[in-house]
A and B are shown apart, each in its own frame.
Chain A
Amino acid sequence: MYSFLFKYIIIGDTGVGKSCLLLQFTDKRFQPVHDLTIGVEFGARMVTIDNKPIKLQIWDTAGQESFRSITRSYYRGSAGALLVYDITRRDTFNHLTCWLKDARSYAHSNMTIILIGNKSDLEQKRAVTYEEGEQFAKENGLIFLETSAKTAFNVEEAFLQTAKKIYEKIQKGDFDINNETFGIKLGAPQSKTDASSSGTGGTGDKAQGGCCGK
């Protein structure tokens, strides 16, 4: 079991390698011919932060405009976001502002966002410099990494750094753990109290019964 469950969302233009990043992280493989994501896909993996088992539950979204509304509904309840662009396609970098705006307006304000310049293996086709990416991240208060879903370069780090940041925020007491809209859940032992307090229709005596149960 896990101590915490963090929900992530991966966003960015279509074709930047979001699904590949997820697959590389969860399955440790690269599948070059990948179906276009239709809607939202899902992956999960256990990691360890500060010696605690943490489950990462990751939403991989479709980048296309037509799915934007579906995607938006997943922002809520995400603790972390991976905002991905393709270093070989400048347009994907240019769209970052739009994505960031979306994220800021649909997610809770304390969502941890990491900017990822993917396909770093295609150095010869690079269209966005590392410095540009870094600069954008800095301006917007994001973590920044260049990765390659193909070679797995920095993939692990991207997910882990985000998790660390979220964990730090929890330690600082930035979140109400019991509020699921933050995309963080406590592990099984606390599930009862967790469920009782989040139950909207729950009346006082019911909640008490739940607590005293075991």
Chain B
Amino acid sequence: MNNWKRFTFFDKEIVKESVKDKDEPSIQKLSITCTTSGRGRLIIGDQEGFIYFVDREFRNTSFQAYQQNVLLLHQLKERNFLCSVGYDDKSYGQASVLKVWNLDKTDKNDNPLCVRAIKLEKAISVTCIAVLEDLSQIMVGLSDGEIIAIRGDIFRDKTIKQKSIRQPDSPITGMGFMNTKGPSQTGPVLFAVTTTNVLTYYTAPQFKDQESVIDDEGGDFGSFIMSDDGSPIIARTDAIYFYNIDGRGPCFGFQGIKTKVLWFRSYLVVVGLENSQANNALFPGQSFGSPSQQNQINKNNNILNIYDVKNKYIGFTDKFDSISHIASEWGSIFLFSADGKIYQLEEKDTQTKLETLFKKHSYLVAIDLAKSQHYDNSSIADVYRKYGDHLYTKGDYDGAITQYLCTIGQLEPSYVIRKFLDAQRIHNLTSYIQALHEKNLANANHTTLLLNCYTKLKDVKKLDHFIKTDSGTFDVETAIKVCRQAGYYEHALFLASKNNRHEWYLKILLEDLSEHRKALHYIQTLEFEEADKNLKKYGKTLVSELPDETTRVLMKLCTDYQPIPTNDLFGRPMTDTLSTVSSTVGLGTKLKAAPEEFIHIFVSQTEWLVKFLEYMIQQNNDSPMVYNTMLELYLREDQQRGSGSDKKEKAYEFLTNPKAKFDQDHAMILAQVHNWKQGILYLYEKLELFNEIIEYHMENNDYEGLIRACKKYGVKDPNLWVRALSYFSITKQDCKNEIVEVLANIDRDNLIPPLLVIQILSQNKNTTLEVIKEYITRRLSQETLQIDKDYSQIKQFADETEKMRNEITDLRSNAKIFQQSKCNFCQSPLDLPSIHFLCSHSFHQRCLSENERECTICGPNNRRFLEIKKNQSDSAIQHDQFFKSLRTSPDGFTTVSEYFGKGILS
């Protein structure tokens, strides 16, 4: 009938009392009336009015609490107080007395201190009590159905009122205060069970003990217990019912007469009758007879069940001889049988219980147990693993994987993966690896495997979901690779785009999908660096497929690049691009790539390269490479167009363009390679390599050109003529005219002495005297003329010198007569005092300033001469200067003699 699993989680033992003293009464011999427990002691009341405290070793102490018998005991949980009900008066039918004991204090007789004794006003037998922990309310249930509320400060109030909150009706069989902590603010609620119904009383002052009937079925004596968390339980014959403040909660249909219930830890302990006669369950909800009947039945075997109501199993079940009292302490349940035996049921440790559960494959219970015992995560995961293993061996792969899912984070994933790979359970495997990803515990291998699963299952929906909703729980690169391999390009593309793996994106577009246009568009949406990088990488393919568009993109890239805004075609956020665009604009710098780095991608696309480069040149790019390549292209183009037209106009035009910034050496090589005369010459000229120019002409035996060159550049480098002369002198051909022309030029600028000319010309036997006759004659006559001129000059200088010398001697030896009659300064007649200088100038003294010691007329002139003289001698000492002018002078001899004149040796 009931399918709850049964375990034996308790060990049963018979308690042996350790009685030292003969005087000490044995518990086993007592006529027990009631029990309670708490604070490490079992507390027992008996027929004689004694209360016994039993310790763990089962030694007891006792004191007399009542004259007559003890009826009820209630130990508070939070404070060491004990409430008891009993009879003090001998005469039967008297009112009972409620006593409150402070167990931490003793009176003068060394007995627990009785804090308060309240004699009940009604002389009706008490069936149960309910006590609030703070002792502010004590409820007493009577057999006539009345409930007496005792409220007040039991420590101080002189008189405490006893108020009846329920009029006589069906007897009260159980009471307890519900756990009403929380937001409901109902205050203490009393839960009362009668033989016919269940009631609640709102005992907080504002509710004035408001009563509600919450169930129309009641409960018998001993059928009610409050669980540790304050929810009431009534064990009826048909079932065990749980209650809450509103009424019935769940119930468990364990049939049979129940006589005692106890809440122990998280267990419900139920003592019932093992009954063939208990088939009165045919009349469920009916109370089972009078107490006398009950006693009779008690003679029969009692059956005890310990239920774990949360995990739904029976933790212990056994038969006993009539159990009269039941209590728990020290982690054990104590059963007092009518014949004086005391049994102890001790709960097994968790590990033992778990092992039992494993043996019975009750993994779910084991998991709950482990959790309730606060096992650490790895231990709990281990239970899940065991469960998973169990289901796996049974072939329940779906079930198994559900368990393994709970091990994630603890159990090494490969353990599970291997199992399901072996079993070819790809669906299960998928869900497991998926969960790994969800918990961010997946590595690249897992991602690969998962994606492989998806692709193998052709589960595009899941793949979509995984890829599109996942937020970075996997290795993107791996995912892209796997998707690509499996041909799920869309997904790979999505991933690449979402994670900005542009290279991958383009790789797939170009290599797998041949979507060149899309790729090109994509590149244009990228930031500058990325666009630059990727165009370098994929430019070649793009140019060959889409030359026009690609070239245009490149032009843009190399001049003023700005990513075009994405139209969200690829799901990339717009704002990204926008923000960066604005930031670059803000900086005001134009982003441009180096065009020379893209030249190579135009391999075999010369036409477009030309367009590209022309544009770049037009944009004034200043990379020599661009110009070099451009030049090369022009040259090559011309060549292709046919060697017939050797004009190379374009090239020349380009070469001579002042804006062109090519590397001249490079250009030279190009011109030479293409044997482009015009270009070579232009470059020579530009580089002022005049020697090379004439050499070039020489090599090409281009006399005319040579002469022209000499004429053109002779101004800058007169030596060209000399070279031309020697060239012509050695050429075997007849080049009389040329030589004449050369000679004329040499002659004009007097480049080399005639002797040298003759020497050079003499090398060629072909040269006739006729060629140089005129030259020599001219030279000779010129020379003679010069000599004559020199002679006359020498004579002139010698005369002047003689004259000066005479003057000096004259000044030194003869007297000087001053004949001036006018002052040379003011031109008025001279009068005394007057000053006369040797230079024959005379002045009034007044016309000369005071310290004047020179003639004011000759003085400045003389001083200049002195200056020159001084300068000359000074500069003569400066040898550097001498050598320098010597080196630079066209006629060294003149320089040397000039220096002699300055007195270099004086």
Contact = CB atoms under 8 A, between A and B. Distances in A.
Contacts of B213: 200
A77 interface: yes
A185 B246 CA distance: 10
Contacts of B208: 206, 209-210
Contacts of A185: 246
Contact of A35 (B1, B4, B207, B254): B4
A200 B3 contact: no
Given A66-B1, A70-B284, A210-B206, A200 B248 contact: no
Which residue, of A73, A188, A200, A209, has the highest number of chain B Cβ atoms within 10 A? A73
B763 to A, nearest CB: 113
A56 to B, nearest CB: 14
Interface in A64-78: 66-67, 69-70, 73-74, 77
A173 interface: no
A141 interface: no
A204 to B, nearest CB: 12
Contact of B250 (A35, A39, A200, A209): A39
Interface of A: 32-33, 35-36, 38-42, 59, 62, 66-67, 69-70, 73-74, 77, 180, 185, 188, 191, 195-196, 198-202, 206, 209-210, 213-214
B248 A73 contact: yes
Closest 6 CB pairs of A and B: A39-B253, A42-B250, A39-B251, A201-B211, A39-B252, A36-B3
Nearest to B252: A39
B452 to A, nearest CB: 27
A199 B253 contact: no
Nearest to B236: A70
Given A69-B238, A188-B184, 8 more contacts: A35-B312, A39-B253, A62-B253, A180-B247, A195-B210, A202-B210, A206-B210, A213-B206
Which residue, of A40, A180, A210, has the highest number of chain B Cβ atoms within 10 A? A40
Nearest to A214: B206
Given A69-B284, A70-B238, A195-B202, A38 B3 contact: yes
Contacts of A199: 210-212
Nearest to A69: B284
Given A199-B212, A200-B213, A209-B206, A77 B247 contact: yes
A70 B251 contact: yes
Nearest to A205: B208
B249 interface: yes
A41 B4 CA distance: 14
A38 B210 contact: no
Contacts of B285: 69, 73
B399 interface: yes
Interface of B: 1-4, 166, 184, 202, 206-208, 210-213, 217, 238-240, 246-255, 284-285, 312, 398-399
A100 B696 CA distance: 121
Contacts of B211: 199-202
A38 B253 contact: yes
Nearest to B247: A77
Contacts of A195: 202, 207, 210, 212
B884 to A, nearest CB: 104
A69 B202 CA distance: 31
Contacts of B4: 35, 38
Contacts of B238: 69-70
B827 to A, nearest CB: 130
A59 B254 CA distance: 18
Nearest to B217: A73
Nearest to B211: A201
A40 B251 CA distance: 5
B253 A67 contact: yes
A188 B246 CA distance: 13
Given A69-B238, A69-B284, A188-B184, A35 B210 contact: no
Contacts of A35: 3-4, 312
B402 to A, nearest CB: 9
Nearest to A76: B216
Given A70-B284, A210-B210, A213-B206, A40 B3 contact: no
A100 B251 CA distance: 22
Nearest to A41: B250
B190 to A, nearest CB: 13
Which residue, of B240, B250, B255, has the highest number of chain A Cβ atoms within 10 A? B250
Nearest to A29: B402
A206 B217 CA distance: 26
Contacts of A210: 206-208, 210
A126 B413 CA distance: 39
B212 A66 contact: no
Nearest to A67: B253
Contacts of A67: 239, 253
B212 A200 contact: yes
Contacts of B398: 32
B253 A66 contact: yes
Nearest to B186: A191
A74 B241 CA distance: 12
Nearest to A185: B246
A188 B4 CA distance: 37
Contacts of A198: 212
B218 to A, nearest CB: 13
Contacts of B212: 195, 198-200
Nearest to B209: A206
Contacts of B202: 195
Contact of B248 (A41, A74, A206): A74
A40 B309 CA distance: 12
Contacts of A36: 3
B252 A38 contact: yes
Contacts of A209: 206, 208
Contacts of B206: 209-210, 213-214
Contacts of B284: 69-70
B172 to A, nearest CB: 14
Contacts of B207: 195, 210
Contacts of A39: 239-240, 250-254
Nearest to B4: A38
A148 to B, nearest CB: 16
A191 B183 CA distance: 13
Which residue, of B2, B210, B211, B255, has the highest number of chain A Cβ atoms within 10 A? B210
Contact of B249 (A42, A62, A69, A213): A42
Given A35-B312, A70-B284, A188-B184, A40 B250 contact: yes
A188 B3 CA distance: 38
Nearest to B2: A38
A190 B3 CA distance: 42
A32 B248 CA distance: 28
Contacts of A42: 249-250
Contacts of A188: 184
Nearest to A57: B246
A32 B210 contact: no
B147 to A, nearest CB: 11
Nearest to B202: A195
Contacts of A62: 253
Nearest to B166: A201
A70 B251 CA distance: 8
B139 to A, nearest CB: 16
B311 to A, nearest CB: 10
B232 to A, nearest CB: 15
A206 B1 CA distance: 48
A36 B4 CA distance: 8
A209 B204 CA distance: 12
Contacts of A70: 238-239, 251, 253, 284
14 contacts: A35-B4, A35-B312, A38-B252, A38-B253, A39-B250, A40-B251, A41-B250, A70-B238, A70-B239, A70-B251, A195-B210, A200-B212, A200-B213, A210-B207
A142 B664 CA distance: 99
B254 A38 contact: yes
A39 B250 CA distance: 7
A25 B239 CA distance: 26
A202 B254 CA distance: 35
